Structure 1
Amino acid sequence: MSLIWATRGRAWGFRFLLTGGFSDPLPEYEAAFADAGDAPETCHRAGGRVALRIADPLGRKDQSGRVIPHEFVVWGPQAAEIHSAADGLALVWPQVAEEFERVWETPRPPL
Protein backbone atom coordinates (compact mmCIF):
# COMPACT_ATOMS: atom_id res chain seq x y z
CA MET A 1 0.00 0.00 0.00
CA SER A 2 1.14 3.54 -0.72
CA LEU A 3 0.95 5.28 2.63
CA ILE A 4 2.27 8.24 4.57
CA TRP A 5 1.58 8.10 8.32
CA ALA A 6 2.11 10.92 10.80
CA THR A 7 1.32 10.70 14.50
CA ARG A 8 2.75 11.40 17.93
CA GLY A 9 3.63 9.20 20.87
CA ARG A 10 3.08 9.54 24.59
CA ALA A 11 6.24 11.64 25.02
CA TRP A 12 7.31 12.65 21.50
CA GLY A 13 5.78 15.08 19.07
CA PHE A 14 4.31 14.67 15.62
CA ARG A 15 6.51 12.56 13.35
CA PHE A 16 6.27 10.66 10.09
CA LEU A 17 6.39 6.96 10.88
CA LEU A 18 5.83 5.92 7.26
CA THR A 19 7.02 8.07 4.38
CA GLY A 20 5.40 6.37 1.38
CA GLY A 21 8.86 6.05 -0.15
CA PHE A 22 9.43 9.83 -0.24
CA SER A 23 12.71 11.16 1.14
CA ASP A 24 10.65 14.14 2.34
CA PRO A 25 6.96 13.26 2.76
CA LEU A 26 6.00 16.73 4.02
CA PRO A 27 5.06 18.25 0.61
CA GLU A 28 2.82 15.27 -0.22
CA TYR A 29 1.27 15.38 3.25
CA GLU A 30 0.65 19.14 3.10
CA ALA A 31 -0.89 18.93 -0.38
CA ALA A 32 -3.27 16.15 0.67
CA PHE A 33 -4.36 17.90 3.89
CA ALA A 34 -4.46 21.45 2.44
CA ASP A 35 -8.27 21.57 2.26
CA ALA A 36 -9.06 18.82 4.76
CA GLY A 37 -9.89 21.13 7.66
CA ASP A 38 -9.02 20.48 11.28
CA ALA A 39 -11.82 18.21 12.49
CA PRO A 40 -10.61 15.41 14.81
CA GLU A 41 -11.64 12.84 12.19
CA THR A 42 -11.72 13.45 8.48
CA CYS A 43 -11.59 11.74 5.12
CA HIS A 44 -10.76 14.15 2.32
CA ARG A 45 -10.12 13.18 -1.28
CA ALA A 46 -7.45 15.26 -3.01
CA GLY A 47 -6.92 14.07 -6.56
CA GLY A 48 -5.94 10.42 -6.40
CA ARG A 49 -5.05 10.67 -2.73
CA VAL A 50 -7.06 10.43 0.45
CA ALA A 51 -6.16 12.51 3.49
CA LEU A 52 -7.38 10.55 6.49
CA ARG A 53 -7.35 11.63 10.13
CA ILE A 54 -8.56 9.35 12.91
CA ALA A 55 -8.35 9.49 16.68
CA ASP A 56 -6.40 6.66 18.25
CA PRO A 57 -8.80 3.69 18.27
CA LEU A 58 -7.77 2.75 21.82
CA GLY A 59 -8.15 6.31 23.10
CA ARG A 60 -4.46 6.61 23.97
CA LYS A 61 -3.35 10.04 25.12
CA ASP A 62 -0.03 11.83 25.17
CA GLN A 63 1.59 13.01 28.38
CA SER A 64 -0.40 16.27 28.13
CA GLY A 65 -3.70 14.35 28.05
CA ARG A 66 -4.47 14.88 24.36
CA VAL A 67 -5.92 11.98 22.37
CA ILE A 68 -3.35 10.75 19.88
CA PRO A 69 -4.32 11.57 16.27
CA HIS A 70 -3.20 9.47 13.33
CA GLU A 71 -2.97 11.17 9.94
CA PHE A 72 -2.54 9.21 6.74
CA VAL A 73 -2.15 10.00 3.08
CA VAL A 74 -3.26 6.99 1.04
CA TRP A 75 -3.03 6.56 -2.73
CA GLY A 76 -3.18 3.73 -5.19
CA PRO A 77 -5.90 1.05 -5.33
CA GLN A 78 -6.68 1.18 -1.61
CA ALA A 79 -7.50 4.90 -1.77
CA ALA A 80 -10.48 4.09 -4.01
CA GLU A 81 -11.93 1.96 -1.18
CA ILE A 82 -11.83 4.74 1.42
CA HIS A 83 -14.89 6.99 1.50
CA SER A 84 -15.07 7.82 5.22
CA ALA A 85 -12.99 7.90 8.38
CA ALA A 86 -14.67 4.60 9.35
CA ASP A 87 -13.46 3.04 6.08
CA GLY A 88 -9.96 4.29 6.80
CA LEU A 89 -10.07 2.90 10.30
CA ALA A 90 -11.13 -0.51 8.98
CA LEU A 91 -8.67 -0.62 6.06
CA VAL A 92 -5.61 1.31 7.19
CA TRP A 93 -5.42 0.97 10.96
CA PRO A 94 -4.86 -2.83 10.97
CA GLN A 95 -1.73 -2.24 8.87
CA VAL A 96 -0.12 0.06 11.45
CA ALA A 97 -1.68 -0.93 14.80
CA GLU A 98 1.05 -3.34 15.82
CA GLU A 99 3.83 -0.89 14.99
CA PHE A 100 2.15 1.90 16.95
CA GLU A 101 1.68 -0.40 19.94
CA ARG A 102 5.42 -1.03 19.83
CA VAL A 103 6.55 2.61 19.65
CA TRP A 104 3.95 4.90 21.23
CA GLU A 105 5.31 4.75 24.80
CA THR A 106 8.98 4.94 23.84
CA PRO A 107 10.69 8.07 25.23
CA ARG A 108 11.97 9.08 21.78
CA PRO A 109 10.40 8.77 18.34
CA PRO A 110 11.56 5.92 16.15
CA LEU A 111 14.17 6.91 13.60
Structure 2
Amino acid sequence: MSRSGQPPDLKNRLRPLWHDVFQLAFTYKLHLCYFSHCCTYCFICITVKLNANRMVVGTLRGFDQFMNLVIDNTVEVNGNENNDIGMVVIRGNSVVTVEALEPIARPQ
Protein backbone atom coordinates (compact mmCIF):
# COMPACT_ATOMS: atom_id res chain seq x y z
CA MET A 1 0.00 0.00 0.00
CA SER A 2 1.10 3.54 -0.66
CA ARG A 3 0.92 6.36 1.85
CA SER A 4 -2.47 7.40 0.47
CA GLY A 5 -3.87 3.96 1.28
CA GLN A 6 -4.33 3.04 -2.40
CA PRO A 7 -2.58 0.04 -3.97
CA PRO A 8 0.22 1.01 -6.38
CA ASP A 9 -0.48 0.98 -10.11
CA LEU A 10 1.75 -1.96 -11.07
CA LYS A 11 1.36 -1.65 -14.84
CA ASN A 12 2.94 1.80 -14.85
CA ARG A 13 5.70 0.59 -12.53
CA LEU A 14 6.48 -2.54 -14.56
CA ARG A 15 6.79 -0.83 -17.96
CA PRO A 16 10.27 0.57 -17.20
CA LEU A 17 11.32 -2.94 -16.13
CA TRP A 18 11.25 -4.08 -19.79
CA HIS A 19 14.18 -1.75 -20.41
CA ASP A 20 15.86 -3.00 -17.23
CA VAL A 21 15.60 -6.63 -18.39
CA PHE A 22 17.55 -5.84 -21.55
CA GLN A 23 20.03 -3.71 -19.61
CA LEU A 24 20.60 -6.59 -17.18
CA ALA A 25 20.99 -9.03 -20.06
CA PHE A 26 23.63 -6.91 -21.77
CA THR A 27 25.44 -6.25 -18.50
CA TYR A 28 25.80 -9.97 -17.82
CA LYS A 29 26.30 -10.81 -21.52
CA LEU A 30 23.26 -13.03 -21.84
CA HIS A 31 22.80 -14.57 -25.25
CA LEU A 32 19.63 -12.77 -26.33
CA CYS A 33 18.12 -14.34 -29.39
CA TYR A 34 16.41 -11.15 -30.51
CA PHE A 35 19.75 -10.16 -32.00
CA SER A 36 21.11 -13.55 -33.07
CA HIS A 37 19.86 -15.98 -35.69
CA CYS A 38 22.21 -18.80 -34.65
CA CYS A 39 20.29 -19.99 -31.60
CA THR A 40 18.58 -23.33 -32.26
CA TYR A 41 16.88 -23.58 -28.90
CA CYS A 42 15.33 -20.13 -28.61
CA PHE A 43 11.75 -19.15 -29.37
CA ILE A 44 10.48 -22.52 -28.14
CA CYS A 45 8.00 -23.03 -25.34
CA ILE A 46 9.61 -24.49 -22.21
CA THR A 47 8.71 -25.51 -18.68
CA VAL A 48 11.26 -24.59 -16.02
CA LYS A 49 11.14 -26.23 -12.60
CA LEU A 50 12.76 -24.05 -9.96
CA ASN A 51 13.88 -24.74 -6.42
CA ALA A 52 11.25 -24.57 -3.64
CA ASN A 53 8.78 -26.47 -5.90
CA ARG A 54 8.10 -23.50 -8.17
CA MET A 55 7.37 -23.91 -11.88
CA VAL A 56 7.09 -21.47 -14.78
CA VAL A 57 6.08 -21.94 -18.42
CA GLY A 58 7.09 -19.54 -21.19
CA THR A 59 9.05 -18.87 -24.37
CA LEU A 60 12.84 -19.08 -24.14
CA ARG A 61 14.39 -15.85 -25.44
CA GLY A 62 17.97 -16.17 -24.26
CA PHE A 63 20.53 -17.81 -21.99
CA ASP A 64 24.17 -17.66 -21.00
CA GLN A 65 26.95 -20.02 -19.87
CA PHE A 66 25.67 -19.93 -16.27
CA MET A 67 22.21 -21.12 -17.39
CA ASN A 68 20.62 -17.77 -16.59
CA LEU A 69 17.43 -17.73 -18.66
CA VAL A 70 15.39 -14.95 -20.27
CA ILE A 71 11.81 -16.17 -20.64
CA ASP A 72 8.97 -14.23 -22.28
CA ASN A 73 5.19 -14.69 -21.90
CA THR A 74 5.89 -16.38 -18.58
CA VAL A 75 3.15 -18.01 -16.53
CA GLU A 76 3.86 -19.11 -12.96
CA VAL A 77 2.03 -22.37 -12.21
CA ASN A 78 0.90 -23.00 -8.61
CA GLY A 79 -1.31 -26.09 -8.60
CA ASN A 80 -4.56 -24.99 -10.24
CA GLU A 81 -3.65 -21.29 -10.14
CA ASN A 82 -1.79 -19.60 -13.02
CA ASN A 83 -0.20 -16.17 -12.64
CA ASP A 84 0.90 -14.30 -15.80
CA ILE A 85 4.20 -12.54 -14.99
CA GLY A 86 5.45 -11.45 -18.44
CA MET A 87 9.18 -11.40 -19.23
CA VAL A 88 11.55 -12.65 -16.53
CA VAL A 89 15.25 -13.28 -16.02
CA ILE A 90 15.81 -16.47 -13.99
CA ARG A 91 19.13 -16.95 -12.30
CA GLY A 92 20.79 -20.22 -13.25
CA ASN A 93 21.43 -21.51 -9.74
CA SER A 94 17.67 -21.66 -9.05
CA VAL A 95 16.94 -23.85 -12.12
CA VAL A 96 16.30 -27.53 -11.38
CA THR A 97 15.05 -28.77 -14.78
CA VAL A 98 14.22 -27.33 -18.20
CA GLU A 99 11.77 -29.19 -20.43
CA ALA A 100 10.90 -28.33 -24.04
CA LEU A 101 7.17 -28.45 -24.71
CA GLU A 102 7.64 -28.82 -28.47
CA PRO A 103 10.02 -30.96 -30.55
CA ILE A 104 13.48 -29.55 -31.23
CA ALA A 105 15.01 -30.19 -34.65
CA ARG A 106 18.50 -31.63 -34.45
CA PRO A 107 21.13 -29.72 -36.44
CA GLN A 108 22.85 -31.85 -39.05
Q: What TM-score does the superposition give when structure 1 sets the normalisation length?
A: 0.34
Q: Which has the higher contact order (CA 8 A, sep 6+)?
A: 1
> Which has the greater radius of gyration?
2
Larger strand fraction of residues: 2
Q: Normalising by structure 2, what TM-score?
A: 0.34
